[in-house]
Structure 1
Amino acid sequence: MPLEIVRNDITKMKVDVIVNAANAALKMGGGVCGAIFRAAGASELQDACDQIGSCKVGEAVLTDGFKLDAKYIIHTPGPIWQGGTKQEAALLKASYLNSLELANKHQCESIAFPLISTGIYGYPKEEALQMAISTISSFLINHDMFVYLVVFDKKAFGLSSKLFTTIHQYIDEHYVEEVESAIRSMSEERFAMHNIVYNKQDVYEKATESLINLLNHLEESFSERMLRFIDEKGMTDVETYKRANVDRRLFSKIRNGVDYTPTKKTALAFAIALQLNLEETDELLSTAGYTLSHSSKFDVIIEFFIQQANYNIHEINEALFAFDQTLLGA
């Protein structure tokens, strides 16, 4: 997917370029900066940074990745939090945007960011996360690039505590434990066993007749129904796959492959992109053989956002990440 939140060590990301939350002097520091220097080779990287000299807050410079899997390192000094009165938001946005533009200039197809300025620089995590996602998602509207926001652990993640609590309450009210679902399923199976038709020939004839009938009355495929929804909602193809956090190449595969069956997370990503209500979402999912279930926390969280008419896929993915669920997109 074009924008993805991942829990990982940024120095181990296999991307074209990783971003270092640097200091203006481009010296080896602590935290993420220190980890990147050590993994790349501290002396080689410091020599490269010394040749550049310095970098202003909000700007970005590039060096080789040296011993990293990444080809390049982009160094950008984020702002120090001073209560929000010293243009911190504008400077943080500039750090992300200048890094993205520099990566694009060097024809990078993938880039990994830390949450800039949220360590010793003290930028509030929730606000920093929102700035990162809004800046990156705006950039991706006009550019094709895979962007990763790398979070080392949940303590570094900035989902609103109020939103987390609200979603948690919704899950508590609507989530049916999988054990209960399994018991219910077993009971249904036992009931079915008592109603088996023992005339095998009759069963075969009825099954064959039913299959022929079904094949003669196939409903729309996922691709066909999705394209019809796009027309009904007055959206363009580009607008749809960008909102769905889906790569252009995958969208093309779905569009041109009538029989293509996407994963459930991809199907739901398109439902969110098209701003479908619950009934429409179930309709689209059914064409791919899926349904929303209260025995899945993933499904309940998606249902929560649809009920709230919140179709911002990146906010939904923030919540899914916070609850250790698969993210939407592909």
Structure 2
Amino acid sequence: MHKMKSYLLVMVLIISIFANAITGQADPFATVQEKLDGITVEEKKVLEQFFIIIQEIDVMESEEERIAQEIAEINDDIKTLENEISLQEEEYKAKQNGLEQVLKSYQRMGPVSYIGIILESDSLSSLIRRINILRDLARNTGELLDKVEESKNKLMDNKDKLKYNIQLLEDRQRELDEALEKANTLKVDLEELISSLGEEKEYYRDYLTSMQIAWDEAKTMFSKIAENFSKIVNESNISPEELNLSFSANGIKSVIKEDTINDIISKEADLEEMVIDFQSEKIRIELPKWNLNLSGKFIIDGEHTLIFQAEEGSFYDMKLENGSIEELFKDRQMVLDLLPYLGNNATIKSVKIGEDFMELIIGWSLF
């Protein structure tokens, strides 16, 4: 019964999406904004509850995809290991058989025969040659023993790896089953909540369909926005005056104004009117076209790079769950590589965000 309800909900959403596409919906963000403009406070609270569930479903479905991909990769590794083990077993048996034949030959000769071989030499050169032959025979036997042992160790290592991968596969399969169960439960919960609204259920379902379309579009486009943001340093010319360089007790200090960054961003057509707002110990990134806002901080990655780490976010003033924020940055991080301005001899030691500015402390080396 639950599965049937989940199926019906998904089908309704899919039909709604296609219906919107057929009727010429070109801008899902404008549609959502138009709908939200006339919504009451109480209605928005209900919609926010539903949107949280939608986000959780999205996260679970992404988790399903991730785990399924891991399972596929582990299965490939298992097949590769099984083929290697099969070849190594054949090689191991062949070397064992070769060693067995050599040892049988030694056994037939007996220990006295070594002395006999040497004493039967009829000249000094014959004696030396026979001694060398015996030495080579002993050395080759030793090498063969080593190779047999090496093959055995490789075989055992790969069998251990195979056992580990099989266990890993079983663990991931359990995780996948749990993710599927949770996603299906959430879908059923969502459908039951909508159904409980009685006559208003179609009203809210329409809102949710529009929100889902807009959110999916935002996730798809955000990766491109993050990529373009990461290019702004290389494609801009910041003057020394704009870097505001000075000496401090900890190194060279650079204070970059919020306006400087926003001026650079405003010249990039692909950044969709992005606005950076430096606040006390926090960075706020606004994307008005999508009604998407994120806040967080820059963390230092390596010697010259800053990465934006989002901590909070909202979409049409509705809170984004942590999993949804992670989804936004799944394919691309927002990166500022300051190497073109700092040079190879400089290292970012610290970054501080204040009202309307970003302060960097830079270490400098002459060598």
Q: Tell me whether the two structures share a fold, i.e. TM-score over 0.5.
A: no
Instruction: Specify which structure has the bigger relative contact order, considering alpha-carbon pairs within 8 angstroms and separated by 6 or more residues.
Output: 2
- Structure whose CA Rg is larger: 2
Using the size of structure 1 for normalisation, the TM-score is 0.23
Name the structure with the higher helix share.
Answer: 2
